[in-house]
């Protein structure tokens, strides 16, 4: 008679411990790969959006949409480009921010601008501006200074004048002008004096609209489509050095050229690369 042998309890515990150790080593690497994959997918989407903006400008005498003050019906990018992206409200979202603050049933998640930073990973919407084909969500926003508003109907007089607007893509230095990027709102009109958000995911506001785009969705970077239709990751501090409007000061108080120190930034941004 031969005695049948099996694993002892000690041997099983050792095997389990080894598996747990390997998982602990591999999981962070897998998470990094997953995040990198989402960053690549985000940039791929933004490049496609560049094609849509280009097609729209070609169809409209090299001008962009008129924006929300258009008469008689507002002409935001959501509706102006609807025929191009087919009103796909997943394509309007960064892969890292697809769940909206308010769902299609009007239920608020309560995460908007929460101190937990959940606002970074949330999409705006669902909302319908009346002239939209359907309720929409999204986590990209347009630089509100690129649009071509009707004379005398230029928006945001409290933040700028009619000569701030780019109005179309054929401008000098287009590769430094933000067009369409990670957004906590579907638009924003930043100024060089806008303060940074006090915490990651702080609720968007009207007094410091750079915060609508200063979102830590890709490890201190955000996806950005520029006016020359190139797409790349932009450092969060770098946002203050881009040419948001025609009169924008790229050496403002939140830049190295303007004398900003790392210690001047909110704590959550201090370790990010200076620009």
Tally of domains within the chain = 1
Tell me how far apart the alpha carbons of residues 93 and 112 are, in angstroms, rounded to a whole number. Answer: 16
Residue 108 and residue 102 in contact, taking contact as beta carbons nearer than 8 Å = yes
**pLDDT reported for residue 251:** 97
Domain extent at residue 97: 10-269
**Does residue 119 form part of some domain?**
yes
Tell me how far apart the alpha carbons of residues 141 and 166 are, in angstroms, rounded to a whole number. Answer: 16
**Does residue 124 form part of some domain?**
yes
**Does residue 207 form part of some domain?**
yes
**Does residue 2 form part of some domain?**
no
Read off the pLDDT of residues 205-249 as tens digits, 9 standing for 90 and up. 788 999 999 999 999 999 999 999 999 999 999 999 999 999 999
Q: How far is CA 78 from the centre of its chain?
A: 15
**Does residue 1 form part of some domain?**
no
DSSP at 67? B
Q: What's the pTM value of the predicted model, to 2 decimals?
A: 0.87
Give the lowest-confidence range in 17-21, 46-50, 66-70, 240-244.
Answer: 17-21
Q: What is the mean pLDDT of the chain?
A: 90
Nearest to 56 by CA among 242, 188, 233, 229: 229
**Does residue 5 form part of some domain?**
no
Is pLDDT above 80 for 33?
no
Of all residues in the chain, the percent with pLDDT exceeding 70 is 91
**pLDDT reported for residue 45:** 97
Under the banding of pLDDT at 50, 70 and 90, the label for residue 30 is: low
At 134, list the tokens: 């359907």
- Reduced to 3 states, what is the DSSP secondary structure of residue 5? coil
Q: Which residues pair with 225 in a beta bridge?
A: 180, 231
Of all residues in the chain, the percent with pLDDT exceeding 90 is 69
**Does residue 25 form part of some domain?**
yes
Nearest to 186 by CA among 142, 122, 225: 142
Of residues 117 and 22, more confidence is placed in 22
**pLDDT reported for residue 20:** 83
**Does residue 215 form part of some domain?**
yes
Under the banding of pLDDT at 50, 70 and 90, the label for residue 137 is: very high
Residue 224 and residue 232 in contact, taking contact as beta carbons nearer than 8 Å = yes
């Amino acid at each position: 008679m031969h005695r049948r042998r099996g694993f002892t309890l000690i041997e099983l515990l050792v095997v389990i411990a080894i598996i747990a150790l390997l998982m602990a080593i591999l999981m962070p690497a897998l998470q990094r790969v997953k995040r990198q994959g989402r960053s690549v997918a985000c940039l791929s989407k933004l490049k496609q959006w560049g094609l849509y903006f280009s097609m729209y400008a070609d169809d409209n005498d090299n001008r962009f949409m008129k924006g929300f003050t258009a008469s008689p019906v507002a002409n935001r990018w959501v509706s102006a480009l609807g025929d191009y992206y087919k009103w796909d409200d997943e394509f309007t979202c960064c892969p890292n921010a697809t769940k909206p603050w308010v769902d299609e049933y009007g239920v608020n998640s309560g995460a908007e601008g929460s101190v937990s930073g959940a606002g970074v990973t949330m999409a705006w919407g669902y909302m319908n501006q009346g002239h939209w084909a359907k309720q929409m969500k999204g986590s990209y926003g347009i630089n509100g200074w690129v649009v071509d508003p009707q004379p005398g109907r230029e928006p945001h007089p409290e933040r700028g004048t009619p000569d701030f607007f780019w109005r179309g893509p054929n401008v000098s230095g287009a590769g430094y002008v933000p067009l369409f990027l990670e957004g906590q709102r579907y638009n924003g009109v930043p100024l060089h004096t806008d303060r940074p958000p006090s915490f990651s995911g702080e609720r968007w506001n009207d007094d410091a609209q750079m915060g609508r785009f200063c979102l830590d969705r890709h490890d201190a970077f955000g996806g950005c489509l520029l006016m020359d239709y190139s797409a790349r990751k932009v450092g969060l501090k770098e946002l203050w050095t881009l040419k948001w409007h025609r009169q924008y000061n790229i050496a403002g108080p939140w830049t190295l050229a303007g004398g900003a120190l790392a210690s001047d930034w909110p704590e959550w941004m201090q370790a990010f690369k200076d620009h």
